Structure 1
């Protein structure tokens, strides 16, 4: 894929995702070419060419001296956007190229994803991240998730950790394991000698970009269940200890503090905090889903397909 095509694909993915999440609407102005050039680290002429390509696809409208806007989205029938229909047609054509007849594709997808119910251990240390990852793994990827909690501070020497033996026992019967880079050392040590695949979560680029942009503008309020969640955020997003005050934690259990928040200020509200608070009127900086980035989704799908095909082979042996 050429650099221009790659850039167009990145912009297309971002726009389509935001449309489906309700964060973008037809007629809404998109960030300018120079702003996107800076955030994507791409030449402004390449961004302009990418927008022209997306305009030809009917996704955006380029208005001279005015900017780039989300185009009115056509639909097929009552609900299916034309863009989704084009994507589905492309999927069917790619299958046809591989001599998979269109009527047989649904059965192939089911065999690849639902031959067996896969058990996935999610290893984390906060309820905030656990619920976020568990929900996405269950709803988006059809996995049976087993939550496995570990200490919030990773051990300096995972091999001598007091948690290692218990964790190894918990993971022994799993089909795959998901965790973050914070706990990768301990989890890798627990999986040593086994063939259980490990996926380390990468956060969706749009989530990272939104958080970093907000931190450049001013303080970010984080509403969570666990106090250590804000510490994790500081570790990931702040470069200097002097910036610790840039992220302001508010615990969901502190109803008075939640009630005193500015209703016009976007906050990072975790899924677990939302569940505790109920229908609280707080503007969210980022949606609850998707949290996983495309690379994580690709890893998960690849593993799911492989494990299902192996299970089918064993069943037919």
Structure 2
């Protein structure tokens, strides 16, 4: 329950930061009601209210009795540094309860994260999502992540070799039924990641107000997006553009992607574009892995670095 409330707070926080960044939200704007958020996020209204109160303590929103939830008048566009200082202090205090002194804390963290090399096979159905997941596995977790195309997995020796040599398999919930038997057969640990919905929720909200463009490198991700949003209000406003297939230069000249149209560019597509700042209203990137998956990943990393004997003593 606590993790669920934390995830809800993360979703609401990211949505507000994104809205402020894009200009779709301003300080003082009214936000959806607790009841509306509960319906949209499929959560208990009490959990939504708890999450709202959490981000209210951060100065992000104001909860006005009998009036609703509002973006704070003097909201900051990023979490405040005192909050980070409090978090670090809490970690150091917790370390003392495990006989880890402050000066030795950094050494322990390095030991937990950097002792062994961990190879991960990240299995997805398109290059765009695989690039983002592998990027996060490397940048956020320090893992040696290799992308494996789901459709190559059972067809090519190279893809199969990456999986056989991996210490850990990672895939999204969409492909759990296909990968779970393979992981069991190979005796490989598997993490099935329910991906963050913040990006998709943000796109769905913007689609009700006008055109939204998503620039991708793999036509399969474009098809996946159309399938995800086909029943959403404003589905006709979603415009996936595929590098190498759609003429982005011509599209821009025709004004289909104007300065006021929100645009999301995947990591892989961004790396392939000649210009890094192509549109003014570029949607900010949101981490794909949920807090629950992050905990699973860090638990695996820590246990692998400690080794069997040390893990038993923890």
Q: What is the TM-score with the length of structure 2 in the denominator?
A: 0.75
Q: 1:42 to 1:16 in 2, by over 3 A?
A: closer
Which residue in the other structure is 1:274 paired with? 270
Pairing 1:1-317 to 2, within 5 Å after superposition: 7=5, 9-10=6-7, 12-14=9-11, 17=14, 23=20, 27=27, 29=29, 31-34=31-34, 35-41=36-42, 51-52=52-53, 54-56=55-57, 58=59, 60-62=61-63, 67-70=69-72, 81-151=81-151, 162=155, 167-217=159-209, 220-239=212-231, 245=236, 247-253=238-244, 254-259=247-252, 260=254, 261-277=257-273, 278-283=275-280, 286-310=283-307
For 1:97 and 1:122, the matched residues in 2 are separated by: 36
* Superposition deviation, residue 135 in structure 1: 1.3
Aligned residues: 297
Q: 1:172 to 1:137 in 2, by over 3 A?
A: same
Q: 1:235 to 1:42 in 2, by over 3 A?
A: closer
* Superposition deviation, residue 141 in structure 1: 0.9
Asked whether the equivalents of residues 61 and 70 of structure 1 are also in contact (C-alpha less than 8 Å), the reply is yes
* Superposition deviation, residue 287 in structure 1: 2.2
* Superposition deviation, residue 207 in structure 1: 1.7
Query: Which runs of 5 or more residues in structure 2 are unaligned?
Result: none
* Superposition deviation, residue 139 in structure 1: 0.8
Q: 1:116 to 1:40 in 2, by over 3 A?
A: same
- CA displacement, residues 66-117 of structure 1 (integer Å, 9 cap, x when unaligned): 853347579xxxx971111122222222223333322222222111111112
* Superposition deviation, residue 129 in structure 1: 1.6
- CA displacement, residues 21-55 of structure 1 (integer Å, 9 cap, x when unaligned): 89569946462434434434567677556545654
* Superposition deviation, residue 192 in structure 1: 3.0
- CA displacement, residues 242-271 of structure 1 (integer Å, 9 cap, x when unaligned): x97554321223233442422211123211
Asked whether the equivalents of residues 195 and 290 of structure 2 are also in contact (C-alpha less than 8 Å), the reply is yes
Query: Which runs of 5 or more residues in structure 1 are unaligned?
Result: 153-157
The residue matched to 1:141 in structure 2 has which SS? coil
Asked whether the equivalents of residues 259 and 281 of structure 2 are also in contact (C-alpha less than 8 Å), the reply is no
Q: What is the TM-score with the length of structure 1 in the denominator?
A: 0.75
Q: 1:44 to 1:138 in 2, by over 3 A?
A: closer
